[in-house]
Structure 1
Amino acid sequence: MNNANKTQVIVFELSGLTDDREFAPFLFIFFLLVYIITICGNIGIIAVVQISPSLHTPMYYFLSYLSVVDLFYSSVVTPKMLSDLLSDKKLISFIGCALQFYFYVALASVEVFVLSIMAYDRYVAICHPLHYVLIITMKKCLGLVLPTFFVGFVQSSAQTSCIFSLKYCGSNLVDHFFCDLAPVVNLSCSETRTCTTISLFFVCFCSLTSMTTILVSYTLIISSILRINSTAGRRKAFNTCSSHLMCVIVFYVTVFFTYLHPSSTTLKKQDLVASVVYAVVTPMLNPLIYSLRNQEVKKVIKRLVKKSPKEPI
């Protein structure tokens, strides 16, 4: 049938996390708790950094930016996912789907760039400790962070405008729990090669730029740590970047598992789990990892819990 005679889709239906109506309430309660912890954890990190003078350093300002990104990143996907778990029809408008995709892609890109900036910050702190305050100034912090938001949202605009300018005139069932790239593009009745190429270019650009920065930074960091004579000195140096390294590993392992393997129906459930981890669970883990593993943050939180109202933090 000629595509011109078909009706443009105006509403998409998401397949969601599960079709099991008895299991859905348990998933709702679990992910509601995850979302509450995500919101409280990231707002808590932002508040702790802001009110504690001892944390007014570039490392913790970058951590604040990461928490801001995680806060909005999780809110793009999780509330809709929660409402769908309690709904018979998991509908999202065409414009709503486009907006969800736009903010999801933009914030995911900003996240990988902020993680790479944090790796560079740790490199300077460990490899050039005497010049750290001269190299990583507050002006440079803003100069590093602001372009990440600009690049993230501009490349997302390019992807979104391309993908949602395609014709969608067949099935409206998005085989996912949110509007991700492949499940949406697969529904198009237009030629999708150009849009797929554009998206692949931006995904590769953001991922490779971030990963190269992280790998080079940690190669130099490890080399510098190995040259430290004392075991205590090596341990202290490694502890300053272990929290960040754990966040990077969790994020990239789940992303690579989801996007960098051959398509296979046997991996669909594993793909869904990986998508849930990087889109919903990872924003919760980042503040928890820094709260539990970072000694400075732990000390400030303990002082906040124990202090009297008149005591300084």
Structure 2
Amino acid sequence: MTFIPKEFTILITTKNRKDDLAFTLRKSQDLLDREDVVFIICDDGSTDGTDLFIQKEYPNIQLIRNTESKGLIYSRNRLMDLVTTEFAISIDDDLHFITQNPLEIIKNTFNENPKIGLLGFRIFWNLQEPKIINSDEVLHRMKSFVGCGHVWRMSAWRDIPDYPAWFIFYGEEDFASYQLLKKKWEIYYLPQVLVNHRVDIKSRKKNPDYALRLQRSLRAGWYLYFLFYPIKIIPRKLSYSIWMQLKLKVFKGDFKALKALLLAILDLLFSMPKIIKNANRLSIQEYQNYQKLEETKIYWKPEDN
């Protein structure tokens, strides 16, 4: 019997989305069946029976569980600590691969480019799969990556600090991207691997957690300014960020945005001790080099759709 070494670990964090997770796992059956793949799921304090579902239907999946919710970033750190393979793929519980045999593409790309520490996938955001899947985009370097679909070279992950669990939600990708830049690792967009993130972007504003998401998004961005940006850059970036929220949302009557803005400012003030302790500021040259990189590829839209 031939021994096949484990090369990839697929990581999923989930909380109270058993149906979404079940769909993702059905779509991932070909990966679950591979002998060179390890699956690990972190159940972040679900109350909908997610853990029982996994234990019953997918006993070969390694399951860890937070007895009470600790947040997405905390859970991602727990998962990454368990990885023993060379590569770790992180996907959301509402995302699945469309590209066939993605692991071969990923492995070859890493092997051909030793400076790449992380690859970001081509992501189609829609409840339904795209009718057209081809793209003429090519592999290229970019600033950061999207948390819902990416893959780490684990030697790069171990070269930088863990994700900042105190961010709770949002910002961990850019945190990692700055740390990777400081360590001379590169992030690339891999359009040859297409994934479907089953999210209706337009409806998110109507969700009851809209204000909380905005608050956490704003504060994460500001945390990153104070952690990494050269000091003389920060006042201009911070004031511009606040002004744009006022101009585009608050002055147009979005008072949920005003509440989110004020709470984010308070969060920033209370987090200053942690920011000072964890700062890893870019030099002016590093900052300028970072700004020259292509923007992160977040959304892909088929040109012929």
Instruction: Provide TM-score, normalisation by structure 2.
Output: 0.25
Higher relative contact order (CA closer than 8 Å, sequence separation 6+): 1
Structure with the higher helix share, 1 or 2: 1
Instruction: Provide TM-score, normalisation by structure 1.
Output: 0.25
